């Protein structure tokens, strides 16, 4: 049975009892509307910890766009059923007032790696992420937290945050889970129209083609420019970014002298898709 807990105090008592008996607690922070990407994190947590907490909290602080927040899909009954099937111990689903009570006044802000890419296009987003993760780590007292590579920059930010603040938690990155046609799973994908859904996997294909060209020695800028043209011609909307960055520090990469990651964010109708791949 997966127990649903909404209050931090109740969660604390539960976790304290687990820890007294020497158990390692794993947490998977999510915003719900769970899909196989989230469940893969729950499975990793199950394997690498004794007790698993999945948190579901649509964090208003990390949305820079109120319509995106309003339209964010929510289905707690289905989430609970999926977590039951994975043998998750606790679904922690606090209300907004539980996380941000009256008088809440602290923002956690990571500098540097939060500035480009998502940080440039979603002002305040990573402050929201860093703040809520700090809170969730404090509330769950977990020893391990599982994050998806789907949000590559976020994973780097959380790693930096826990390192910088000496948080007693290990951050574990897990691979991106994709639909059969290559589209990275995302809760927002349900908002795509049938036509958009058909086009969406082109993003991954085009990125893979560009990565292949770069590996074959085509100059990075040329390969990325070709990919941008292809995406535009295919019918995508505005491109926020398509870039090659170093794995270490997310600095712009002009060649493959260091391990690199290709990252993209692009609009399709009113849905913003993000993806990233190793190059």
Among 187, 189, 202, 261, binds ligand AMP (CB under 6 A): 187
User: What is the C-alpha to C-alpha distance for residues 217 and 119, in angstroms, rounded to an integer?
Assistant: 30
**What would the 3-class secondary structure string for 245-261 be?**
EECCCCCECCCCCCCEE
6-33 residues labelled b (16+ CB within 10 A) or e (exposed): eebeebeebbeebbeeeeebbbbbbbbb
Please list, in sequence order, all residues whose beta carbon lies within 8 angstroms of the beta carbon of residue 132, skipping any fewer than 6 positions away: 29, 57, 59, 61, 62, 99
Q: Phi, psi (5° rounding) for residue 268?
A: -135, 105
Among 139, 185, 268, 274, binds ligand AMP (CB under 6 A): 185
- Strand 260-268, strand 239-246: pairing: antiparallel
Among 55, 131, 186, 276, binds ligand AMP (CB under 6 A): 186
Size of the site for ligand AMP (CB under 6 A): 17
| Binders of ligand AMP in range 24-43 (CB under 6 A) | 30-31, 37-38, 40-41
Query: Residue 239 in contact with residue 230, Cβ under 8 Å?
Result: no
Q: Which tokens belong to 100?
A: 């941000």
Among 52, 113, 142, 184, binds ligand AMP (CB under 6 A): 184
Query: Residue 57 in contact with residue 132, Cβ under 8 Å?
Result: yes
Using CB under 6 A as the binding rule, whether residue 128 contacts ligand AMP is answered as no
Q: How far is the CB of 94 from ligand AMP (least distance, A)?
A: 15
User: What is the C-alpha to C-alpha distance for residues 154 and 192, in angstroms, rounded to an integer?
Assistant: 23
Among 49, 134, 153, 176, binds ligand AMP (CB under 6 A): 176
User: What is the C-alpha to C-alpha distance for residues 23 and 62, in angstroms, rounded to an integer?
Assistant: 31
- The residue written with tokens 């560009």 in the block is 210
Stretch that binds ligand AMP, among 135-143, 184-192, 207-215, 267-275 (CB under 6 A): 184-192
| Binders of ligand AMP in range 150-169 (CB under 6 A) | 150-151
Closest CB to ligand AMP among residues 148, 201: 148
Which residues are the active-site residues?
38
Q: How far is the CB of 145 from ligand AMP (least distance, A)?
A: 9
The contact mask relative to ligand AMP for 237-276 (x = CB under 6 A, - = no) is: ----------------------------------------
Stretch that binds ligand AMP, among 4-12, 71-79, 174-182, 231-239 (CB under 6 A): 174-182
For the chain, give the longest Cα–Cα distance: 59
Closest CB to ligand AMP among residues 118, 220: 118
Stretch that binds ligand AMP, among 78-86, 104-112, 170-178, 191-199 (CB under 6 A): 170-178
User: What is the C-alpha to C-alpha distance for residues 232 and 247, in angstroms, rounded to an integer?
Assistant: 27
Q: How far is the CB of 56 from ligand AMP (least distance, A)?
A: 8
The footprint of ligand AMP (CB under 6 A) covers: 30-31, 37-38, 40-41, 147-148, 150-151, 174, 176-177, 184-187
């Amino acid at each position: 049975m997966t127990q649903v807990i909404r209050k931090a105090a109740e969660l604390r008592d539960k976790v304290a009892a687990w820890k007294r008996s020497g158990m390692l607690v794993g947490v998977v922070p999510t915003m719900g509307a769970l899909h196989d990407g989230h469940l893969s994190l729950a499975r990793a947590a199950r394997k690498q910890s004794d007790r698993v907490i999945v948190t579901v909290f649509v964090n208003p602080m990390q949305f820079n766009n109120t319509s995106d927040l309003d339209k964010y899909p929510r289905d707690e009954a289905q989430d609970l059923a999926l977590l039951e099937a994975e043998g998750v111990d606790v679904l922690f689903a606090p209300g907004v007032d539980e996380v941000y009570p009256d008088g809440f006044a602290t923002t956690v802000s990571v500098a540097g790696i939060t500035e480009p890419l998502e940080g440039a296009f979603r002002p305040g987003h990573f402050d929201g992420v860093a703040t809520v993760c700090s809170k969730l780590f404090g509330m769950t007292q977990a020893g391990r937290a599982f994050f998806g590579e789907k949000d590559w920059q976020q994973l780097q930010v959380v790693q930096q945050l826990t390192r910088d603040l000496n948080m007693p938690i290990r951050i574990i990155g897990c691979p991106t889970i994709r639909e059969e046609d290559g589209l990275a799973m995302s809760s927002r994908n349900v908002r795509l129209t049938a036509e958009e859904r058909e086009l969406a996997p082109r993003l991954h294909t085009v990125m893979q083609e560009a990565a292949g060209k770069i590996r074959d020695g085509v100059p990075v800028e040329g390969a990325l420019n070709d990919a941008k043209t292809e995406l535009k011609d295919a019918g995508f909307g505005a491109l926020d970014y398509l870039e090659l960055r170093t794995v270490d520090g997310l600095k712009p990469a002009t060649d493959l002298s260091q391990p690199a990651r290709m990252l993209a964010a692009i609009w399709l109708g009113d849905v913003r898709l993000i993806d990233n791949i190793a190059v």
